[in-house]
Structure 1
Amino acid sequence: MSRLQAVFWDVDGTLADTEMSGHRVAYNRAFSELGIDWNWDPDLYAELLTIPGGTKRMQRFAKRCSVSLSPDLLQRLREAKQRHYLDLIRAGAVRWRPGVLRLLKDLQQAGVQQWIVTSSGLASVQALLEVLHGFSAGPFCGWVTADDVRCSKPDPEPYQLALRLSGVDPDCAIALEDSAPGLRSARAAGLRCLLTPSPWDPELPMDNHHATAVLDHFGAETSCQIHSGPPCEGGRVTLKYLEMLLDLGQE
């Protein structure tokens, strides 16, 4: 069995349930605060989630609405949204995905490198980690965020940078993702990918077969359900299970 050297974690929808009760609400509060007559309901926000990164999301929606967002207004929106997002996290609106905290600790104890690879900005990532578990880094060796790359997911650049920073060969690492852009990014960088699908991603069913395994979560009080991939002993994703996935051939 291959030895796992690095795990690359996506954040939104993978590490934590951040989108509908966190980011979406924070955007709407920022719009209201700055006098912008937008309201992103769950259906609309699910559609907008196909656009990686909050800045691009707002820019494209503005273009759709024939609204001009000046660089200054866009920056103020980002700052207001970040402030409201942090308030929501502190209020308990965002929680770890099932089994995440257990798996983070198990991998840390085993000496496996863990990196965050996300289309979110660094400030959002740090706020989430500080509030959810009282740390700014914790088990993570580092992160690749939207602030570090020119092209976000589905481009492979975020994962290519993570591989360079970690010094790990793609055959000794695995990506944990929940979305079609994330899956495409990981696979284009030569990585195997375990997918815990987001219910908000309409493109994902078409790409599921490109994942090395597809599960509903990582396994906690309830066992995870496997949609594709090898059986998961005890209904939990473990280091042993991730190393099993490394031994499966790439498509």
Structure 2
Amino acid sequence: MLDDFWRALALLSRIPVSMRCDFRPEAIARSVWCWPFVGLFIAGVAIIPAFLTDILIGNSAVTAIMATLVLVLLTGAMHEDGIADCADGFGGGQDRQRKLEIMRDSRIGTYGVIALVLCLALRIVLLSLASDSGSMAAILIVMAVTSRAAIPVVMHFLDPARMDGLGKGAGRPELLMVVGGIGVALLLVLVVAGPMAVITSVMAMMVAVVLVGWIAKSQIGGHTGDVLGMTQIASELFVGIAFVAVIQGT
């Protein structure tokens, strides 16, 4: 179990992991049950500078920007890179092969810039709104754990769109491990935010997964590492919107 966590932490973040990890596809696929714990760890680290910023400045927007900055640094912006590449490929490619070529190109285009700016802006606004209600820590954790549980769902139900790259190398997790990851995420959400957050989070997460899966299937016939990154970002934002809607309605 500890090996699975260290493997997941090394895969989903830029946090140095001193121990040697087995990154064979079957090992990665087996570890997906604990990916929400990686989200919990990353969110927990981001909470600290956000909390200190809030004490020093008392401005929710600045606090939200600080939290976002730390999240991006901890993950190496890998998920943001995924949604930018998907936006460029899906928006600029004329056929499946060309879309995949664009997605693999390290350069960013207009579609990617727009998608990246809008997603970062939406995350900052959601965190700021939660901060105003005293729920910054809760929303950070809820968004982080549920979005990491969403990724394996796409990995299980969609075939890789290409025979190389991260999407193929991550393997296809068993349904039991996928369900286990969702269960871990929802348990963490229950502890942090209560039963209503569990209901809204799972609904928002599944809407995001279905939407991303449908888009990826129709555009390139499956998933890639970039699609998995887009899954994380989309799930995070959908869950964040649902969370803010609940706290503003109560």
Settle same-fold status: TM greater than 0.5.
Answer: no
More strand by share: 1
TM-score (norm 1): 0.27
Bigger helix fraction? 2
Q: Which has the higher contact order (CA 8 A, sep 6+)?
A: 2
- Normalized against structure 2, the TM-score is what? 0.27
